[in-house]
Structure 1
Amino acid sequence: MSTTDGTAVASAGGPAAGDGDGGPVLRLEAVRKTYGRGRTVVLRDVDLEVAPHTVTALIGASGSGKSTLLRCANLLEEIDDGAIFLDGEEITDPRADADAVRRRIGVVFQAYNLFPHMSVLDNITLAPRRVHGVARAEAEERARALLDRLGLGGRAGEYPDRLSGGQQQRVAIARALAGRPRLLLLDEITAALDPELVGEVLRVVRDLKEEGMTMVLATHEMGFAREVADQVCFLDGGVVLERGTPAEVFGAPRQARTRQFLQRITEAGRL
């Protein structure tokens, strides 16, 4: 893996010990999510499988359910019906340990969500030390290695407000990777960035794909989704209306609504 400054990057860490590659890392079965006492359906009977070492891109208009799907997969939102499985274990079972599940899933949001009063190093090491029980010295060693690999080797002692948006988002990615997750969820991670900073963050995601990191990303970057994804899911009104390879979804969409969405994206110069 290489960063924007050409720094060589080693593997970000593969599957956690004991995780097999025989089945999907993440599986959603008939997942339904509503808000407002069930009046607003946000996800409608969503089925999804994410194979190991693949990238699944969720595309669709704002409000189509992409972010909600990711939040449900990380148990940040409670589903109303259906089931979600991580490496074959039903994590939506009421008996499941939600904290243990979240320790195996890294999440990066469009807002960086870095603690402004903490240094970059402390932001990255907080969860490994407090949640995973990693000793401070080991956690800091991991964090410095990640920062080096993401082109931020000299920024460990900085505070977030001293960094550019692209640098802050790379710190957020480093924080998510510090726990050596089995699965990485990325929610519109370039949405808050100036256009000139988007490329440096997308390079990191591209490099993580080359390393074999299993990822699900919600994105409005259609060209990037077409390039990096193994599977593309088009959501509309909380339904996975169409899914397939990038060539299938972008090149020969079957559904009229998908064609309409992509035409508008193309006319806007974003594909």
Structure 2
Amino acid sequence: MSDDPVLRFEAVRKSYGGQLVLRDVSLSVPAHSVTALIGASGSGKSTLLRCANLLEEVDDGAVFLDGEEITDPSVDQDAVRRRIGVVFQSYNLFPHLTVLQNVTLAPRRVHRRERAEAEAHALELLARLGLADKAREYPDRLSGGQQQRAAIVRALATGPRLLLLDEVTAALDPELVGEVLGVVRDLKEQGMTMVLSTHEMGFAREVADQVCFLDSGVVLEQGPPEQVFGDPQQERTRQFLRRIVASGRLTPGN
């Protein structure tokens, strides 16, 4: 159905070495929406994203993409990953390839697009994200913010149904954070469906359609940002946000 969520977690559980990292997580991500995952380090945010892209196998429960259970063992995992773009905090650009070559690698090798078509689309995306003059540069000639924007372009180049962003500003110097967040803000305006884990609370409050607070592998609270940040229902959420406000990473109020 057209109103089905793009991504849905149903009672997902995941353990590492006997330690339960995700505890019966259920969550739906509507089309053209932004879901922000917040919580302390180790709360399960990155693991949840990795389960969505099948980089981690769930122990129990199920993950659905456009209504199809992608955690079913019979599913072609490579076909699923072709529909999902992922951007990590560490960029993961190939240092021996130019930015253009990095961006066109998957469209050419995986999606079998002609070189001219792939490069034309890549150059259009690079221009849109302010990297038109960096297409022939190698990653080590770019700033951290430029490398992260290039990584986002690479994820977009395959035309993903869903974009997962895992702490994409964590490795950046503070002055470079804004330019990457600006790109995410623009993608939201263009209707891209995104799930992002972030420590940038002010940005999550501004850009997200729903915010999910994870604590010890449990989605303890979820709702629109004005509710989660402005009127949290759980004491643990209030405690977490008080610490964030005290650290200066979030201003009080709605």
Same fold (TM over 0.5): yes
Over 2 Å off, 4+ runs: none
Hey, what does 1:56 align to over in structure 2? Answer: 35
Report the RMSD for the aligned CA atoms in angstroms: 0.6
Question: Any idea what the Cα deviations from partners look like across 1:217-261, whole Å, max 9, x if unmatched?
Answer: 000000000000000000000000000000110000000000000
Measure the CA separation in 1 of the matches of 2:144 and 2:113.
28
**Equivalent residue for 2:15, pick from 25, 34, 37:** 34
Given that 1:166 and 1:193 are in contact with CA atoms closer than 8 Å, whether structure 2 keeps it comes out as: yes
Measure the CA separation in 2 of the matches of 1:77 and 1:130.
24
Question: Any idea what the Cα deviations from partners look like across 1:100-152, whole Å, max 9, x if unmatched?
Answer: 00000000000000000000000000000111111111110111001110001
**Equivalent residue for 1:194, pick from 173, 176, 200:** 173
**Equivalent residue for 2:90, pick from 104, 107, 111:** 111
Question: Any idea what the Cα deviations from partners look like across 1:142-194, whole Å, max 9, x if unmatched?
Answer: 11001110001011110000000000000000000000000000000000000
- Verify: 1:82 aligned to 2:61, yes or no: yes
- Verify: 1:246 aligned to 2:225, yes or no: yes
**Equivalent residue for 1:264, pick from 226, 243, 248:** 243
Measure the CA separation in 1 of the matches of 2:2 and 2:147.
32
Hey, what does 1:13 align to over in structure 2? Answer: none
TM-score normalised by L of structure 2: 0.98
AA in 2 matched with 1:219: T
Hey, what does 1:5 align to over in structure 2? Answer: none
Hey, what does 1:229 align to over in structure 2? Answer: 208
Hey, what does 1:151 align to over in structure 2? Answer: 130
Deviation at 1:22, TM superposition (A): 1.8
Hey, what does 1:173 align to over in structure 2? Answer: 152
AA in 2 matched with 1:29: E
Identical amino acids, percent of aligned pairs? 78
Segments of 5+ residues of structure 1 without an aligned counterpart are 1-19
Residue aligned with 1:32, SS: strand
AA in 2 matched with 1:106: G
AA in 1 matched with 2:222: R
Measure the CA separation in 2 of the matches of 1:262 and 1:159.
40
Hey, what does 1:47 align to over in structure 2? Answer: 26
Hey, what does 2:192 align to over in structure 1? Answer: 213
Deviation at 1:26, TM superposition (A): 0.1
AA in 2 matched with 1:23: D
Measure the CA separation in 2 of the matches of 1:269 and 1:76.
34
Measure the CA separation in 1 of the matches of 2:68 and 2:157.
23
Hey, what does 2:3 align to over in structure 1? Answer: 22
Deviation at 1:21, TM superposition (A): 3.3
Measure the CA separation in 1 of the matches of 2:31 and 2:195.
11
**Equivalent residue for 1:73, pick from 46, 52, 77:** 52
Measure the CA separation in 2 of the matches of 1:120 and 1:212.
25
Measure the CA separation in 1 of the matches of 2:125 and 2:209.
25
Segments of 5+ residues of structure 2 without an aligned counterpart are none
Aligned residues: 250
AA in 1 matched with 2:147: Q
